[in-house]
Amino acid sequence: MAKLREECGVVGVLGDPEAANLIYLGLYALQHRGQEACGIVCFDNDEKQERAILHGHKAFGLVGDAINREILEKLQGDIGIGHVRYSTSGGRLLQNIQPFSFRSPRYGHISIAHNGNLTNAKIIREELEAGGAIFSTTSDTEVFMHLLARSRRPELKDRIVEVMGIVRGAYSLVIAAKDVLFAVRDPFGYRPLVIGKKGNATIVASETCALDLLDASDYSEVQPGEIIEITRTGRNSSFPFAATKKEFCSFEPIYFARPDSYLFEDSIYDLRKKMGEELASESQVEADHVIAIPDSGMPMAIGYSNKSKIPIELGLIRNHYVGRTFIEPSQEIRDFGVKLKLNPVSEKIRGKKIILVDDSIVRGTTSVKIVRMLRKAGAKEIHFRVGSPPITHSCYYGVDTPARKDLLAAQKTVKEIKELIGVDSLAYLSLEGLKRALGKDSYCFACFNGKYQEEIFKDVPFQPTDVNGPGLSSLEN
């Protein structure tokens, strides 16, 4: 794992007879948010819209491999949701692939897909199991299902509000039933969620690049704390909780989101270029070229080059055909894993002073190998520039960070890291520089400064008094 990893992407569609197709394409565009597995469910209403059959497909693998035409043709219906995931410690289990679904006597089937991470899932789960609930996955997200199923509120939307009062953490959700689609975002707004139109249909997705692929229009963000109820006749927005500080994940603009996506009306590509420009302002150095570590370092390298007036070169070429597996020879090939993916263009390295730009350093092991490879290719000086601050803390909001002992910057000073990586100079973008580049005050920087929202560090108890209705009362028994 050379990079931090986003855990999920979600898509929801209501009002298009080819909902499954649109979800499929939306997931295709969100593939960078999760490559382990994908799933789609659709609600196929009968003519009178009294009953819906729930069609579903889940599989491991990339969207384009796991889903084919024959499958899509079976996923009839004009409402549906989809999910791409990257597996965390919960493990690579078929039953953990979302969307999750259950049948409620009142509403029929209800399906849910989740991007984020709950901080009190474990304790809620234990309480529910003690009351006789049977869990069939190891995923946080199943807690939502059980709480929705147990609620006594007659309206599905009120059940969602009730559940939002119980769970803590990061969640951007799409929830579908036979005649409704909900887009839900936690009050801090950790993970992105956008909404748009395509003809008569409404599309919800994690990023705008999915709306782009679908030729959607009228984009807007689902706001932190917002519940949007989408039916065939329109949309209804509500904010059942008091407004709070926004805590949008700053790693979305740094690395996770696709550069062609927009967040808060900002172009991700431009934000990255600005990070590169700030980096150049903060830690200028003389050199022959700027070289990006492809592909994620490229926008920052362009920003760095623009600001510093040092020309950019493609000094590292990425192998586009790195397959699922590779087998190393037993005889050593130095830095083999990196060489499979990247090869230097000697012409641009030998005897040159180079500025090497990357978006972030997590464990540093890949950086060490790349630098060693460039040294072997004859680089005269290597100045490593990182477009984000040192990552010193774990994320509890849906990003798979390594344990602190494996987080390089949590263990070593910048000077020590410079020595370890073996470069002539090393500079990270400062937190202030990052804030200047982002230009807004609504971000979470906890992985850089450890300032988490309070409830993370309390062992958040499951408090039935939070629950007003009878739904969860049986848990008290």
Place of tokens 């344990």: 403
Q: How many CB atoms lie within 10 A of CB 384?
A: 25
Minimum distance, C-beta of residue 341 to a second copy, in the bound complex (Å):
10
How many chain residues interact with a second copy (CB under 8 A)? 90
Backbone CA torsion sign across 282, 288, 292, 293: negative
Contact 290, 298 (CB under 8 A): no
Residues 224-263 that bind a second copy (CB under 8 A): 258-260, 262
Contact 98, 85 (CB under 8 A): yes
x/- map, 146-185, a second copy, by CB under 8 A = x--xxxx---------------------------------
Question: Residue 305, exposed/middle/buried by CB under 10 A (0-12, 13-18, 19+)?
Answer: buried
H helix or E strand, kind and range, residue 10: strand 8-14
Catalytic annotation present for 8: yes
DSSP-assigned letter for residue 456: G
Whose Cβ is closer to a second copy: residue 30's or residue 409's? 30
What tokens were used for 170?
Answer: 């990061």
Report if residue 414 touches a second copy, rule: CB under 8 A. no
Which of 51, 33, 78, 79 lies closest to 182 in space, CA to CA?
Answer: 79
Whose Cβ is closer to a second copy: residue 274's or residue 393's? 274
Cα 38 to Cα 65: distance, rounded to the nearest angstrom: 10
Q: At what angle are helices 268-282 and 298-308 packed, to 10 degrees?
A: 50
Report if residue 473 touches a second copy, rule: CB under 8 A. yes
Residues 29-88 that bind a second copy (CB under 8 A): 29, 31-32, 35, 62-65, 67-69, 72
- Alpha carbon of 145 to those of 291, 334, 413: distances in Å? 48, 49, 44
Whose Cβ is closer to a second copy: residue 104's or residue 442's? 104
Cα 195 to Cα 253: distance, rounded to the nearest angstrom: 19
Report if residue 98 touches a second copy, rule: CB under 8 A. no
Minimum distance, C-beta of residue 295 to a second copy, in the bound complex (Å):
7
> Could you tell me the end-to-end alpha-carbon distance of the chain, in angstroms, rounded to an integer?
45
Report if residue 267 touches a second copy, rule: CB under 8 A. yes
Q: Pick from 343, 365, 430, 442: which binds a second copy (CB under 8 A)?
A: 343
Whose Cβ is closer to a second copy: residue 94's or residue 414's? 94
Minimum distance, C-beta of residue 452 to a second copy, in the bound complex (Å):
29
Q: What is the dihedral of CA 184, 223, 247, 123, to 10 degrees?
A: -20
Q: Pick from 28, 144, 396, 428: which binds a second copy (CB under 8 A)?
A: 28
Cα 102 to Cα 151: distance, rounded to the nearest angstrom: 14
Q: Pick from 50, 326, 351, 461: which binds a second copy (CB under 8 A)?
A: 326
Whose Cβ is closer to a second copy: residue 40's or residue 228's? 40
x/- map, 305-324, a second copy, by CB under 8 A = -x----xxxx--x-xxxxxx
Whose Cβ is closer to a second copy: residue 239's or residue 326's? 326
Judged by CB under 8 A, the stretch of 160-168, 299-307, 393-401, 437-445 that binds a second copy is: 299-307
Whose Cβ is closer to a second copy: residue 162's or residue 247's? 162
Cα 277 to Cα 290: distance, rounded to the nearest angstrom: 12
Minimum distance, C-beta of residue 18 to a second copy, in the bound complex (Å):
5
Judged by CB under 8 A, the stretch of 2-10, 111-119, 340-348, 354-362 that binds a second copy is: 340-348
Whose Cβ is closer to a second copy: residue 62's or residue 429's? 62
Please give the order of strands across the beta sheet that includes 381-386: 312-313, 289-292, 353-358, 381-386, 425-428
Minimum distance, C-beta of residue 409 to a second copy, in the bound complex (Å):
27
What tokens were used for 43?
Answer: 């609600």
* Helix, strand, coil % over all residues of the chain, rounded to 5: 30, 25, 40
Q: Pick from 49, 136, 238, 449: which binds a second copy (CB under 8 A)?
A: 136
Report if residue 327 touches a second copy, rule: CB under 8 A. yes
Residues 205-224 that bind a second copy (CB under 8 A): 209, 212-215
Cα 71 to Cα 455: distance, rounded to the nearest angstrom: 43
Catalytically active residues are 8
